[in-house]
Structure 1
Amino acid sequence: MKIALIHATTTALKPIERAFQEVAPSIELLHFMDTSLLSLMEKSGKLTPEIIHRFSALVNLAYNSGVSCIQLTCSAFNDVTTILQPLYSVKLFRSDEAMLDEALRYTKIGLVSTVKETPIALQNYLLNKNPDCMIQSLVDPGIIHLLSHGKRKEHDARVIKMVEQLDGKTDVIVLSQYSMEHIAKQVNPSVPILTAPLLAAKRCLDHLSEEF
């Protein structure tokens, strides 16, 4: 059985691979990536026709590879699933769908993001599911790029600072990007802290078990 992973950054690769290795090591993972997508999103601040076209090209490649489902790994592009899902018979999963559903068990939700456009996509999902949920969002724009420049310590320190700022002000803290997953082990907030990769992998498997 094959699952496609759609990436906009290289920083999502290891977290999602580790997650699937933990829950389903026999699954074949196919990676499809366009690293120009993030810079296009950062310039436009929204899903443009060009972004949607480039993303659909990746989904087409994945779909034509005979995969059983398609998992996005970059949260800034999650809303594209609403546009593209009607075109495909296989399920397209948002990068954070399972994580945000878990977050909705709480009333006050804190979002920590390293890409300026990410909170918009997450808030759209949360408020559509529960208009009464209260969201507090902190974003340090663009620091995700520190990881690709070998500045992991600086990246982590700035994310940890945001976590500390939210601690005690919300009922749960969400680390929005896959690239922040490792930071959950570096902090010990007074409220639960959620990351997406493992929950996403489990949701894919649950879906496949229902389908097959």
Structure 2
Amino acid sequence: MKVALIHATTTALKPIEEAFRKVAPEVELLHFMDTHLLTMIEESGSLTPEIARRFSKSVSLAAEARPDCIQLTCSAFNPLTAILQPLCRVKMFRSDEAMLDEALEYNRIGLISTVRETPEALINYLQARQPNCAIESVVDPGIIHLLFEGKKEEHDERVRRMVAEMDGKVDVIVLSQYSMAHVANQVTPNTPILVAPEATAKRCFQYILQK
């Protein structure tokens, strides 16, 4: 059993590896990384044709490895799955779909993000499946780069502030990036918190078993 993981940032590696070790340690993980993609989307503010073409190269490489499925780990690039899936014989999963499907069990959903472009991708997914769902979004753009600079505590504190700001205003809080998943263990809000890595690993494993 093999899962190909497509990353746009190194901060996604540890969370998803830990999740698979917990959920399905027998699955072999194949990593495909292009960190320049994050820079490109931050500079452009949207998914440009150039980004789509570059991202498609990672998808092609992943598919050539003949995995059981391909799993994205960066939310900002999720809309590209709808474009690229028809061109790829291997099943592709968005980074957040398993988590967001859980979020749709609640009426009021709060999104916390550290990349400016992420909320739109998540909101589009949620509204496509449940048009009347109520969504609140809080973004602290670019603080994911604090992790690259070794400023983990500052990053975590700013995420904790967003959780505190959202707590009680919604029925569930979604930590949008894999890089934030560890912060869920640092807070005790009254509102339930969802993170993507473990839900993602479970979704992939279930898919493989049902093939």
Q: Decide: shared fold, TM above 0.5.
A: yes
**Of 111-120 and 82-91, the range deviating more from structure 2:** 82-91
Following superposition, the deviation at residue 99 of structure 1 comes to 0.2
User: Cα deviations across residues 136-172 of structure 1 (Å, max 9, x unaligned)?
Assistant: 0000000000001000000000000000000000000
Task: Report what 1:148 is aligned to.
Answer: 148
Structure 2 counterpart of 1:205, one-letter code: F
Query: In structure 1, the residue corresponding to 2:67 is in which secondary structure?
Result: coil
Structure 1 counterpart of 2:144, one-letter code: I
Following superposition, the deviation at residue 126 of structure 1 comes to 0.3
Following superposition, the deviation at residue 209 of structure 1 comes to 1.1
Query: In structure 2, the residue corresponding to 1:189 is in which secondary structure?
Result: coil
Question: Aligned partners of 2:51, 2:189: CA distance in 1, in Å?
Answer: 36
Task: Report what 1:72 is aligned to.
Answer: 72
* Percent of paired sites with the same residue: 66
* TM-score (norm: length of structure 1): 0.99
Structure 1 counterpart of 2:152, one-letter code: R
Does structure 1 residue 42 correspond to structure 2 residue 34?
Answer: no
Question: Aligned partners of 2:110, 2:142: CA distance in 1, in Å?
Answer: 19
Structure 2 counterpart of 1:152, one-letter code: K
Task: Report what 1:196 is aligned to.
Answer: 196
Q: How does 1:29-108 map to 2 (within 5 A)?
A: 29-108=29-108
Question: Aligned partners of 1:152, 1:132: CA distance in 2, in Å?
Answer: 36
Query: In structure 1, the residue corresponding to 2:55 is in which secondary structure?
Result: helix
RMSD between superposed Cα atoms in Å: 0.5
Query: In structure 2, the residue corresponding to 1:47 is in which secondary structure?
Result: coil
Query: In structure 2, the residue corresponding to 1:142 is in which secondary structure?
Result: coil
Query: In structure 2, the residue corresponding to 1:70 is in which secondary structure?
Result: strand
Query: In structure 2, the residue corresponding to 1:6 is in which secondary structure?
Result: strand
Question: Aligned partners of 2:69, 2:45: CA distance in 1, in Å?
Answer: 28
Following superposition, the deviation at residue 108 of structure 1 comes to 0.4
Question: Aligned partners of 1:49, 1:65: CA distance in 2, in Å?
Answer: 25
| Structure 2: gaps spanning 5 or more residues | none
Structure 1 counterpart of 2:28, one-letter code: E
Question: Aligned partners of 1:80, 1:156: CA distance in 2, in Å?
Answer: 29
| Structure 1: gaps spanning 5 or more residues | none
Following superposition, the deviation at residue 33 of structure 1 comes to 0.6
Name segments (4+ residues, structure 1) moved above 4 Å: none
Following superposition, the deviation at residue 114 of structure 1 comes to 0.1
Structure 2 counterpart of 1:198, one-letter code: E
Structure 2 counterpart of 1:126, one-letter code: L
Structure 2 counterpart of 1:162, one-letter code: M
User: Cα deviations across residues 41-91 of structure 1 (Å, max 9, x unaligned)?
Assistant: 011111111111111100100100111100000011111101000011111
